[in-house]
Structure 1
Amino acid sequence: MERQKSTKKNSTHGSRLLVFFISIAFTLFSTGCGNEKGKPSTEKKLRIGLMITPRGLDDKGFNDLAYAGIKSAERKFGIDPVLIEPSTMSDPEASLRFFTQQNFDAIIAVGTAFYKAIKTISKERPNLPFFVIDSSMEEGNVRGISFREDEGSFLCGFLAAKMSKTKKIGFVGGIKNETILRFFNGYYNGAMEAASDTMVVSHYVSETFSGFNDPETARKIATQLYNEGSDVIFHAAGASGLGVISAAGDAKKLVIGVDMNQDSMAPGLVLTSMLKKVDQVVEDVVKTLSEGKKPTFVKRSYGMVDNAIDLTDFQFSRQQIGDELISKLGSLRKEILEGRLQTSKAQPNPRPEKTTASGTLE
């Protein structure tokens, strides 16, 4: 693994100031391969940068999924992928500007934390395609890729309300933004479909993107939600969600995971996980580029019909959920696929919610 630092030298009143912007990790996946006849290939490989969040790999979520997608694309399409791993988000614009100088054919960025930086840098590099996962951007050479999280979250809300004995369920989001509100709206609507007298309490880890990388604060929030009567919590908080699952284990209460299959993290307590197949989307982007097709910079939304949103198979919870409820979830899923069920309706009457960076509910 090659580690580099981006530096900038400034002169102030005759003195030189060395400013370290960011510590970078480059992981090069491939060293070249031959063609199918065993001869060295002279064809230039697509060099694609995958920019993940500072949480890094082994986050049990978005970063790991995106990494799996680019690795799969490498095997299938023979690209030259580079993992771009900023060690901090203190100056994402400086970090991204540094990376755009590394002769990439395209950059795929994971998460909305890079939104402002990409909006600026993409104008400086108009011939470099940017693909931003979890974004509705649609301008110039930037293509936003979003998901219809409300579809899977609807099923999670229905399940949570049906499994709740207190008629009170929780939601922990990383930050209150457009993406996380899609999660919450679907969850709320599903809960109301199951039992209209269910109370849905929402809480957000932070007002900044640090809310996706703070498991300890999320654990405190979830613990208090459990103590205050919520007996099922659904998290949409990235790596912070690992703290929610930890709190569920401590309290022996129910929880629903997100993004990738988190069911085994607390078997029997994690009822299911709402799968958000970022790996599949990353591979889809690379496939388009590898086929030589000119990318269209029109935002794209993926949902159940694209097999990009779903639930896990209840491996550890099937018995306690029961076949009848699982069958009902299957019927609702079919209605969503057929467009007969409204999942995205915004919450009409705000329920109690808090946003904090301290991990305590006021």
Structure 2
Amino acid sequence: MQRFFTQSLKWRAFAMFLFLAGLVFSTPAADFKVGLVLDRGGKDDKSFNSSAYEGANQAKKKLGIFLKYVEATDDNAFEPLLRAFAQRDFDLIIGIGFAQKEAIKKVAAQFPQKHFAIIDAEVDAPNVRSLVFEEHEGAYLIGAIAAMTSKSGKIGFVGGMDIPLIRRFSMAYEAGAKKINPQINVLANFVGVTSEAWNNPPKGKELAVSQYDAGIDIIFAAAGASGLGVFDAAEEKKKFAIGVDANQNWTKPGLILTSMLKRVDEAVASTIEESKAGHFTGGIKRFGLANKGIDYSVDQYNEKILPESVRKRADDIKAEIIAGKIVVPDFYKKK
């Protein structure tokens, strides 16, 4: 086991070396250069990282920027990857995920002339833009939709890593459900307590199967790539699941009731566009229901399973949240 672990570390170090060497030999000198550091879920998680990657590529197609991305093998990789981009004179460096907060803070201080952005964390530095989302607003809305659709009066939640961010989802999801049905039962489970929890579909499926077997008929998955396991369980048990971050309705047509949209793609694309135009500003930029940074999805894959009456009630609740008539509980502000 120790030998395997040592070899694994060597392979990771070698992969890091190849990436850094690639920056040295393949980076153009003239283009506006954007470096994108994804977390462990990777660009194919069909969720959080995929959305960020899509937004960066939208900017690439529109603006003709040079884009380089890398998927961090573990949390220790963030700092050297961010620093490598800065050393190779990239104009904008974007870290995807709260786990990069300390690395961004440190590297941004070392390269004050470079611009950085981070998703889901606040870094107080003049050369860092913090892109944060009002996830609780969307989760509340999703909870209401789940409660309106459930036949059993039991709904579930599968979160990725057990951290305040995901507790924020869970708390608001339950509150939204109880707005519709005060007696509804809500069961929440989490995949794990380390960053590996974002990329463990088998564990996600195991938790979901257990919930479905307990009588739950709808599960909201906020678990990164682990959520794909929840969707597999929904297919196996012929029950509903709800996606998150990106529009995941297409992954299991007719079984994904809706997806809570967290427009990471637009946050990334707009930051790149503003930066290339010379309008980069540091500070915090928030995205919620009011500016459509948060929403729920309706398309050809779920329009037949999400009744018009449910959508209308959901839109009414959305309007009430935006108007301040409904105050959504926020785990971040829990006393």
TM-score tier, shorter chain, comes to 0.7 to 0.9
Structure ID, larger Rg: 1
Contact 1:54-1:87 within 8 A present in 2 as well: yes
Among candidates 9, 13, 16, match of residue 20 of structure 1: 13
Among candidates 237, 259, 263, match of residue 249 of structure 2: 263
Among candidates 146, 154, 157, match of residue 168 of structure 1: 154
User: SS of 1:230's equivalent?
Assistant: coil
> Which residue in 1 is equivalent to 2:107?
121
Alignment partner of 1:77 is 2:70? no
Alignment partner of 1:324 is 2:309? yes
User: SS of 1:185's equivalent?
Assistant: helix
1:166 shift after superposition: 2.5
User: SS of 1:127's equivalent?
Assistant: coil
> Which residue in 1 is equivalent to 2:291?
306
CA distance in 1, matches of 2:144, 2:239: 17
Q: 1:106 to 1:263 in 2, by over 3 A?
A: same
User: SS of 2:39's equivalent?
Assistant: coil
1:348 shift after superposition: 11
**Amino acid paired to 2:113:** N
Among candidates 320, 328, 333, match of residue 343 of structure 1: 328
1:22 shift after superposition: 4.7
Instruction: Tell me the alpha carbon deviations over residues 295-354 of structure 1, each in whole angstroms, 9 at most, x when there is no partner.
Output: 1x21221012222111111534434442222211121122223332222344999xxxxx
Contact 1:167-1:199 within 8 A present in 2 as well: yes
> Which residue in 2 is equivalent to 1:201?
187
Contact 1:93-1:121 within 8 A present in 2 as well: yes
| Unaligned segments of structure 2, at least 5 residues | 1-9
Instruction: Tell me the alpha carbon deviations over residues 30-83 of structure 1, each in whole angstroms, 9 at most, x when there is no partner.
Output: 998xxxxxxxxxx94321111112433222112222122112212333322222
**Amino acid paired to 1:205:** V
CA distance in 1, matches of 2:71, 2:331: 35
CA distance in 2, matches of 1:292, 1:198: 51
**Amino acid paired to 1:62:** F
The within-5 A match list for 1:15-94 is 20=13, 22-23=15-16, 25=19, 44-94=30-80
**Amino acid paired to 2:209:** T
| Unaligned segments of structure 1, at least 5 residues | 1-16, 33-42, 350-362
CA distance in 2, matches of 1:125, 1:204: 37
User: SS of 1:139's equivalent?
Assistant: coil
CA distance in 1, matches of 2:302, 2:57: 31
The within-5 A match list for 1:242-261 is 242-261=228-247
Identical columns (%): 35
> Which residue in 2 is equivalent to 1:13?
none
Q: 1:122 to 1:22 in 2, by over 3 A?
A: farther
Instruction: Tell me the alpha carbon deviations over residues 135-177 of structure 1, each in whole angstroms, 9 at most, x when there is no partner.
Output: 1222353322111111221121011112222222111111122
> Which residue in 1 is equivalent to 2:98?
112
Contact 2:40-2:198 within 8 A present in 1 as well: no
The structure richer in helix per residue is: 2
Q: 1:69 to 1:318 in 2, by over 3 A?
A: closer
Alignment partner of 1:233 is 2:219? yes
1:89 shift after superposition: 3.6
Contact 1:189-1:345 within 8 A present in 2 as well: no
Contact 1:189-1:347 within 8 A present in 2 as well: no
Contact 1:157-1:189 within 8 A present in 2 as well: yes
1:114 shift after superposition: 1.7
1:215 shift after superposition: 0.9
CA distance in 1, matches of 2:295, 2:280: 30
CA distance in 2, matches of 1:152, 1:57: 23
CA distance in 1, matches of 2:304, 2:35: 43
1:103 shift after superposition: 1.2
1:277 shift after superposition: 1.2
Alignment partner of 1:281 is 2:267? yes
Q: 1:181 to 1:321 in 2, by over 3 A?
A: same
RMSD: 2.8
Contact 2:168-2:332 within 8 A present in 1 as well: no
Contact 2:92-2:272 within 8 A present in 1 as well: no
State TM-score, norm by structure 1: 0.80
Instruction: Tell me the alpha carbon deviations over residues 174-199 of structure 1, each in whole angstroms, 9 at most, x when there is no partner.
Output: 11223222322221111011101112
Q: 1:324 to 1:91 in 2, by over 3 A?
A: closer
1:285 shift after superposition: 0.5
User: SS of 1:315's equivalent?
Assistant: coil
Instruction: Tell me the alpha carbon deviations over residues 187-231 of structure 1, each in whole angstroms, 9 at most, x when there is no partner.
Output: 111101110111211111111111111111111111111112222
Per mean C-alpha deviation after superposition, the further-off stretch among 152-161 and 87-96 is 87-96
**Amino acid paired to 1:134:** D
User: SS of 1:318's equivalent?
Assistant: coil
Aligned length: 320
**Amino acid paired to 1:141:** N
